[in-house]
Chains A and B, each alone.
Chain A
Amino acid sequence: MQWVVATAAFLASAVEFVESFTIVLVVGVTVNWRSALLGALAAAATLALLVATLGTALVQWVPLDVLRTVIGTLLLLFGLKWLKNAIMRYAGLKARHDEQAIYEETRAELRARGEVEASSSRFDLFGFLLSYKSVLLEGLEVAFIVITFGLSAASSTVSRSSGITSAALGAVAAGLLVILAGALVRVPLANVPENTLKFVVGIMLTTFGTFWLGEGFGVEWPLSDAFLLILIAIYLGASFLLTVWLKQAKKQQRAQSIENQAVPATEYSKEVPQ
């Protein structure tokens, strides 16, 4: 079991599962649970098939160095996207993900479509597709992380399979945890610190992406694998500084807009005869 891989997959999956759980919950409450759960299960099966086929194909046919370069690049792109969004949310430049708002919005949309609180267990195609689409779209990111992370963490064909297995186990554990928590409370999981999780995953993906991409190009990192901790420290420090910088930029922007509003008003009051 590769714990770093499993942890990264667990955290990333937890965020995505919370997001898709909200939609499944709305469909379950507003349409019916049968359609919601069938949609979610069908999407989970599609994702499992994707990981199994794509993962196996990559394990068998692609040389490790090529894999590290390509997957390091992809992880870097993916990680920087997550990190950028998390920093923007911390700095207040982007709205935080609000599960309660998404829940209410989707519920209102379903109601407007003419759906009512369902007591019947009749299969509803729209509810099924909505649930399927939401789990599949959010889960694709998880599948991507499971495959790339699982493959890159390993150094031989045998441990490549174990890397994918570790990542998949992390994702499954996150899924079970979210489903269990959701089944217990039966409300959108609004209290999960999604942005913090996304930030942590962004740091991890960027760190491992940098490390593996470097190795793909023959970089010999000082201290070997322990250099990962230094990379984490560098990216954490940089993220902290960037958040502070963006917060200050936002403050200046506010002060400037208040000033701009105040100046014409003062000029106008001077022109008006008393």
Chain B
Amino acid sequence: MKVIKAIYNFIVGDMVILIGVILAVSILALINNVGALAPLKGFSGPFLIIAVLASLVATLGREAFSSQH
């Protein structure tokens, strides 16, 4: 458990960023591999950028909010 925590802290150390990136990667994987979602492939790039920005806004918002309290 300690090893996993150390790796987590070393690579990201922030749950919001981790969840945001994992969600983005999972959705991209779905778009890439599920036939029904193939028409969305053209939106993969913009989606990835928006997901990255959303993760950044969410984590900073959480920090600002928690510091206010």
A77 to B44, CA, bound (A): 18
Contact in complex: A93, B45 (CB < 8 Å): no
| Chain B hits for A87, CB < 8 A | 56, 60
A141 to B11, CA, bound (A): 9
Mark each residue of chain B from 18 to 30: 1 if its CB lies under 8 Å from any CB of chain A, else 0: 1001000100110
Total chain B interface residues with beta-carbon distance under 8 A: 29
Contacts known (A210-B52, A217-B32, A238-B53); A81 close to B60, Cβ less than 8 A: no
Contact in complex: B21, A140 (CB < 8 Å): no
Contact in complex: B13, A218 (CB < 8 Å): no
Closest to A230 in B: B49
Q: Residue A210 contacts which of B48, B57, B67 (CB distance < 8 angstroms)?
A: B48
| Chain A hits for B57, CB < 8 A | 242
Chain B positions 38-52 with a Cβ under 8 Å from a chain A Cβ: 41, 44-45, 48-49, 52
Contacts known (A81-B13, A249-B64, A250-B64); A219 close to B45, Cβ less than 8 A: yes
Contacts known (A74-B11, A77-B12, A246-B64); A214 close to B45, Cβ less than 8 A: yes
Contact in complex: B68, A249 (CB < 8 Å): yes
A213 at the interface (CB under 8 A from B): yes
| Chain B hits for A220, CB < 8 A | 45
Contacts known (A78-B11, A206-B52, A253-B67); A214 close to B44, Cβ less than 8 A: yes
Contact in complex: A80, B55 (CB < 8 Å): yes
Looking at chain A's contact residues, is the secondary structure mostly helix, strand, loop, or mixed?
A: helix
Contact in complex: B14, A84 (CB < 8 Å): yes
Closest to B25 in A: A73
- Most chain B CB atoms below 10 A, which of A84, A93, A210: A84
A253 to B29, CA, bound (A): 41
Contacts known (A74-B11, A218-B44); A84 close to B52, Cβ less than 8 A: no
A27 at the interface (CB under 8 A from B): no
Contacts known (A210-B48, A218-B44, A253-B68); A77 close to B17, Cβ less than 8 A: yes
Chain A interface residues (CB < 8 Å from chain B): 69, 73-74, 76-78, 80-81, 83-84, 87-88, 93, 140-141, 144, 206, 210, 213-214, 217-221, 231, 234-235, 238, 242, 246, 249-250, 253, 256
Chain B interface residues (CB < 8 Å from chain A): 10-14, 17-18, 21, 25, 28-29, 31-32, 41, 44-45, 48-49, 52-53, 55-57, 59-60, 63-64, 67-68
Q: A238-B53, A242-B56 are in contact. List 20 more A-B contacts (CB 8 A).
A: A73-B25, A74-B11, A76-B52, A77-B21, A80-B52, A81-B14, A84-B14, A87-B56, A93-B63, A141-B10, A213-B25, A213-B48, A217-B29, A217-B32, A218-B41, A218-B44, A221-B45, A246-B60, A249-B64, A249-B68
